[in-house]
Chains A and B, each alone.
Chain A
Amino acid sequence: MPALVAESLDKSFVTGTVRTDVLRGLSIEIEAGELTLVSGPSGCGKSTLLAILSGLLKPDAGRAIALGEDLARLSPIELERFRLHHTGFVFQGFNLFPALDALEQVALPLGYLGLDDATARARARRALEEVGLGNRLALRPAELSGGEKQRVAIARALAKEPQLLFADEPTSALDAANGQIVIDTLHRIAKTHGATVLCVSHDPRLVAHADRVLAMEDGRILADSRAEPAAAGRG
């Protein structure tokens, strides 16, 4: 069974009297254990697709099914619980709390999962080591570079051990080297943790690192291509 299913999704936004159709009958299935990249120009609806598949937004029509759950059937509380237990997010802005050091940023959501302090901290340390920040645990955001901050954000999502990991333009604020590290990390998470990684980006550098690339325009999928095994395995 695919991890994420979009069935004939429609979504439009109304600004004043102007109605913009963002998604038009979009259907797609996304598999676990892969890094799937949705690419396209800004305004093509890719972030809206991610928001709907992650349960942050409700579609006007159609169904979004995540891990076999029809998200429209869940109450707001159930949706919170679903996201808490199954999903991780990485956003374009890193959105780290200025007051917390790297270890605390990552351990914070784990506390809400019900883990005790020692377990949360151990798991947070493992996640930070996995993204190569084992020697940066005690630093606050102000003391970290942009790339390091984004890796802390990834570790924060990863430490929850989610089955679904959503990333929205994770590299757009980063230079080439840091962008490379971030995309490699996301790819590795899909492979080693068997997670479903759905990444939305207009950054052409990422295409080469994705297992599957969905090209979007005007609310529709234009092309669905799989990378060569050799190319995807690189990284």
Chain B
Amino acid sequence: MVPLARKTLVYEWRRFLPSLFAVAFSGLLLLVQAALVLGIFESAAVYITRSGGDLWVGHPGTQSIELGRPIPNDTEIRLRMDPAVARVEPFIWIDGDWRGPSDRGGLSVFVSGVDTRADAMVFADVLPATLRAMLDEPDSVIVDRADLAKLGLGIGGRAVVNGHRVRIVGVANGLRALGGVNIVASLETARRLDNDHGGTEVAYYVVRLRDGADADAVRARLQPTTATKRYEVWTRGAFAHRAVTYWMFGTGAGLGVVLLALVVFCVGAIITSQTLMGAVAGSIREYATLHALGVAFGDLRRVVLQQAGWVGAAGLAVGGVLTAIVIVLAKHHDVPVQLDAITVAACAALVMGIALVSGLAAVRALRHADPAMLLR
């Protein structure tokens, strides 16, 4: 069979270029938007996903990690009593008022107090053992590299948090999260910085289970059954998911994403279909001739849809390359971006959907391929 769709596409590429760009930019917009949103909202769960441990224990109903409230100290004892629990690590989470260089004013920060042992679970992926050990020095803190500019300080810089002096002893990558600057300190330093609770309470306990223990079963066992719970237990994955969901849907951002995707889809489809219709209209006499020669409408329709499919595939390829470039640039500048296979597949499906819908719209232009018009 003579590949009419492909040959026409290659020969008359100028005619199809606008639709290819429309598809490519739709793909770019969808992918970059998804990458940014995922990147930003994954950072809501960054403390959970970049820490070890199997269970998180916190204030009942806590929706996202930065909303942590103190829980009773005797919780630790209750957790340790379960035979499946191998280790319990406290995680202090307090709000802080940061005063750095005088020209910067004050900043709201979150202070995380973490275990400084080499095999600690909290921030296991973010803080290597040597960096973590630096926190043993009293009043030392670590910040994210990307936050240095915001704080107006470098390594060795001094500031005041909640009225207590601290010193930046190192920087890490991956501590950037939603809601504010994150300062990591040792448990002892964090307690000193906590004026409200006298440094006796923690916000979370991270629990590591013994090998072979069923996290769900242990969670169910540790979960208080009384009507007024004093703490709540989540598996690590569930707690991370809670945080992402809270930001994605609790803030209305998720709906915004869906709406924007819808707009991108419509605009992409309108531009692409107009161009494809123009291409069909430009060849309408040739199509009519084929129809006169007995080529069925269904076969002509297939030619147009094939063209739409090729435009979609080519646009997707161009959009994919552009997205890759944008992602690399974003990562280079510490912009939180994240893409997973499912999201890429969904965006690709949406882009091919744009091409297909446009093709179906362009097929309507074939109605004018009436051979009788050639006889006037």
Contact = CB atoms under 8 A, between A and B. Distances in A.
Interface of A: 47-48, 50-51, 54, 56-57, 77, 80-85, 87-89, 91-93, 95-100, 104, 107-109, 111-112, 117, 120, 140, 156-157, 160, 168
Contact of A47 (B11, B292, B375): B375
Contact of B2 (A89, A91, A96, A104): A104
Contact of B290 (A51, A56, A88, A108): A108
Given A98-B11, A99-B8, A89 B285 contact: no
B4 A100 contact: yes
B376 A89 contact: no
A83 B283 contact: no
Contacts of B229: none
B118 to A, nearest CB: 68
A26 to B, nearest CB: 16
Interface size class of B (residues with CB under 8 A): 20 to 34
A146 to B, nearest CB: 16
B88 interface: no
Contacts of A57: 372
Closest 10 CB pairs of A and B: A84-B294, A99-B11, A83-B294, A111-B1, A95-B289, A99-B8, A47-B375, A99-B7, A108-B2, A89-B292
A161 B8 CA distance: 26
A156 B1 CA distance: 15
Interface string B282-296: 010110111111111
Interface in B269-291: 283, 285-286, 288-291
B283 A97 contact: yes
5 contacts: A95-B288, A95-B289, A97-B7, A97-B283, A99-B8
Contacts of A87: 292-294
Contacts of B288: 95
A82 B289 CA distance: 15
B82 interface: no
B240 to A, nearest CB: 54
A47 B373 CA distance: 10
Interface of B: 1-2, 4, 7-8, 10-12, 283, 285-286, 288-297, 299, 371-372, 374-376
B42 to A, nearest CB: 47
A156 B289 CA distance: 10
Given A89-B293, A91-B292, A95-B374, 14 more contacts: A50-B375, A54-B292, A89-B374, A92-B374, A98-B8, A99-B4, A99-B10, A100-B2, A100-B4, A100-B7, A108-B4, A108-B290, A112-B294, A112-B299
A88 B293 contact: yes
Contacts of B4: 97, 99-100, 108
Given A87-B294, A100-B4, A109-B293, A51 B372 contact: yes
Nearest to A92: B374
Contacts of B293: 83-84, 87-89, 109, 156-157, 160
Contacts of B374: 89, 91-93, 95, 168
Grouping DSSP codes into helix (H, G, I), strand (E, B) and loop, the B interface class, with mixed when no group exceeds half, is helix
B376 A47 contact: yes
Contacts of A96: 286
Contacts of A93: 285, 374
Given A107-B2, A112-B299, A56 B7 contact: no
A104 B8 CA distance: 12
B294 A168 contact: no
A228 to B, nearest CB: 31
A92 B285 CA distance: 11
B286 A77 contact: no
B12 A112 contact: no
Contacts of B375: 47-48, 50-51, 56, 91, 168
A177 to B, nearest CB: 25
Nearest to B7: A99
A12 B7 CA distance: 41
A112 B289 contact: no
Contacts of A83: 292-294
A82 B12 CA distance: 32
A216 to B, nearest CB: 14
A96 B293 CA distance: 13
Given A80-B296, A99-B10, A91 B289 contact: yes
Contacts of B1: 111, 117
A89 B372 contact: no
A117 B2 CA distance: 8
Contacts of B376: 47
B15 to A, nearest CB: 10
A109 B294 contact: yes
Nearest to B291: A80
A47 B376 CA distance: 7
